[in-house]
Amino acid sequence: MTLRINDVAPDFTAETTQGSLRFHEWIGDGWAVLFSHPKNFTPVCTTELGTMAGLESEFRKRNVKIIGISVDPVESHGKWKDDIRTATGYDVEYPLIGDRDLNVAKLYDMLPAAAGASSEGRTPADNATVRSVYVIGPDKKIKLILTYPMTTGRNFHEIIRAIDSIQLTAKHQVATPANWQQGDDVIITAAVSNEDAIARFGSFDTVLPYLRKTKQPTA
């Protein structure tokens, strides 16, 4: 079954570079990003995992844990870390799941259409995981889903931007317009009346009857 936003993220137990973990328990009362890559010791994946390592402190500021996954064995993840450091200058300190039996990949629909039944004899063209991203909230529900092809490296700054927007919405009942960045004006959601908007935000601009903008809340 295809996962959708607001579904409860499937729980699982998996072996990682930091030992066995149960996913929901590992998330705890914070946020999480689960992201897959096709294969260890490949060029695009090396740049991606190093980039995530460099951004880990930014995720931590937002109470977000990050965890990677591919169908490579845990031992391969450990050996690959040296190459990632050489290529990007960053140490991968977040856990990496070794999903050799494809259990998690299947739970999260991370396999391409031509995927095989197991990890044995796989190639990047068949049962490697594509570049999936799931953002999961403290309620264990899926807040964002992204899927990129194997040849396209992701913009992880965009994932941070999206998390900032999602967390702002959760706290203040506002939405964010196209190309929004931290500090830009935000949109008051339809669920907030004009009277309530004045009480909450002090003032707002009515661009259209259904489009009201206000300064980004800071408290």
144 and 209, same structural domain? no
Whole domain around residue 205: which residue ranges?
173-214
63 and 124 fall within a common domain: yes
Same domain flag for 186 and 107:
no
185 shares a domain with 102: no
Residue 6 lies in a domain: no
Predicted pLDDT of residue 128: 82
Residues 104 and 148 in one domain: yes
Residue 160 within a domain: no
**Do both 136 and 196 map to the same domain?**
no
Residues 143 and 203 in one domain: no
Domain holding 60: CATH number? 3.40.30.10
Give the per-residue pLDDT at 2: 87
Residues 139 and 179 in one domain: no
For residues 136 and 204, membership in a common domain is answered with no
**179 and 125 inside one domain:** no
Positions marked active-site: 45
Statement to judge: residues 147 and 177 lie in one domain: no
Count: domains in the chain: 2
Confidence (pLDDT) at 126: 60
pLDDT, residue 116, reads 53
pLDDT at 119: 52
Query: Same domain, yes or no, for 115 and 203?
Result: no
Instruction: Look at residue 159 and tell me if it is in a domain.
Output: no
Per-residue pLDDT of the chain (219 residues; tens, 9 = 90+): 589 999 999 999 999 999 999 999 999 999 999 999 999 999 999 999 999 999 999 999 999 999 999 999 999 999 999 999 999 999 999 999 999 989 999 999 998 876 555 555 555 456 688 999 999 999 999 999 999 998 999 999 999 999 999 999 999 999 999 999 999 999 999 999 999 999 999 999 999 999 999 999 986
In this prediction, residue 58 carries a pLDDT of 98
3-state secondary structure the chain: CCCCCCCECCCCEEEECCEEEEHHHHHCCCEEEEEECCCCCCHHHHHHHHHHHHHHHHHHHCCEEEEEEECCCHHHHHHHHHHHHHHHCCCCCCCEEECCCCHHHHHCCCCCCCCCCCCCCCCCCCCCCCEEEEEECCCCEEEEEEEECCCCCCCHHHHHHHHHHHHHHHHHCEECCCCCCCCCCEEECCCCCHHHHHHHHCCCEEEECCEEEECCCCC
In-domain check, residue 97: yes
